[in-house]
């Protein structure tokens, strides 16, 4: 069985021969050999058509051979094992990424909850401190002039609004009952 390359070369040779026959038919027509010229044209057309058909069939055969080779390669044991390994590797990567994202999300939630609890606790502590300083201020009301008492109360309210525990403690230390 001739190889595909030899068949392709034969097809190209037939196409070249068909072109030469066309040239011969043209020259025969110019020389006044009309019947011979028509016969040469018909045989050249059939030879060229045969050449194109052979080339097309060779192309289809080559494509089929390549497809068969690629399918054999794809369904081989080695390729299937490599695909399984790749699938497992990518599955593990996705699982690790999911775990990383879940840990990050949990850390964010716990941190937000901790901050919320700390803010709530700080607010409670400030409220207690405000109450205690206010009680001490009310206890020291008799020892303070109305102007000083009013000034201390305003400062205490302002410090509570600013959430300034240090300033409230300083105010407490400045009360005369201490």
- Are 142 and 177 in contact by the 8 Å Cβ rule? The answer is no
Model confidence at 1, pLDDT cuts 50, 70, 90, reads very low
Question: What was the pLDDT predicted at 177?
Answer: 65
Domain count, the chain: 2
Per-residue pLDDT tens digits for 80-100: 999 999 999 999 999 999 999
- Are 58 and 8 in contact by the 8 Å Cβ rule? The answer is yes
60 and 120 share one domain: no
Question: What was the pLDDT predicted at 143?
Answer: 86
16 and 69 share one domain: yes
CA nearest 178: which of 137, 126, 147, 129? 137
Per-residue pLDDT tens digits for 135-173: 988 888 888 888 988 998 999 899 888 888 899 888 888
- Are 52 and 14 in contact by the 8 Å Cβ rule? The answer is no
Please indicate, yes or no, if residue 68 is contained in any of the structural domains: yes
Whether the per-residue pLDDT at 178 is higher than 70: the answer is: no
Please indicate, yes or no, if residue 85 is contained in any of the structural domains: no
Please indicate, yes or no, if residue 64 is contained in any of the structural domains: yes
Please indicate, yes or no, if residue 97 is contained in any of the structural domains: no
10 and 70 share one domain: yes
What is the percentage of the chain residues whose pLDDT exceeds 90? 40
CA distance 44 to 20: 8
60 and 121 share one domain: no
- Are 99 and 125 in contact by the 8 Å Cβ rule? The answer is no
Write down the mean pLDDT value for the chain: 89
Domain extent at residue 27: 4-75
> Rounded to two decimals, what is the model's pTM?
0.46
Q: Where are the alpha helices (DSSP H) in 75-164?
A: 77-139, 146-161
Please indicate, yes or no, if residue 103 is contained in any of the structural domains: no
Per-residue pLDDT tens digits for 63-72: 999 999 999 9
Question: What was the pLDDT predicted at 137?
Answer: 87
CA distance 8 to 66: 17
Residues contacting residue 136 through CB under 8 Å, at least 6 positions apart? 172, 175, 177
Please indicate, yes or no, if residue 22 is contained in any of the structural domains: yes
CA distance 59 to 55: 6
């Amino acid at each position: 069985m001739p190889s595909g390359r030899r068949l392709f070369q034969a097809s190209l040779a037939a196409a070249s021969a068909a072109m030469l026959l066309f040239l011969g038919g043209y020259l025969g027509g110019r020389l006044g050999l009309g019947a011979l010229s028509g016969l040469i044209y018909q045989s050249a057309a059939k030879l060229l058509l045969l050449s194109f058909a052979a080339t097309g069939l060779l192309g289809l055969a080559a494509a089929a051979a390549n497809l068969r080779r690629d399918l054999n390669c794809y369904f081989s044991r080695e390729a299937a094992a490599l695909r399984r390994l790749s699938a497992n590797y990518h599955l593990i990567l996705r699982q690790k990424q999911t775990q990383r994202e879940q840990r990050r999300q949990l850390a964010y939630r716990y941190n937000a909850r901790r901050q919320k609890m700390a803010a709530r606790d700080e607010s409670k502590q400030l409220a207690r401190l405000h109450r205690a300083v206010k009680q001490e201020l009310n206890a020291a009301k008799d020892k303070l002039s109305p102007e000083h008492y009013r000034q201390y109360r305003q400062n205490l309210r302002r410090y509570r609004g600013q959430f300034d525990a240090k300033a409230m403690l300083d105010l407490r230390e400045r009360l005369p009952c201490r």
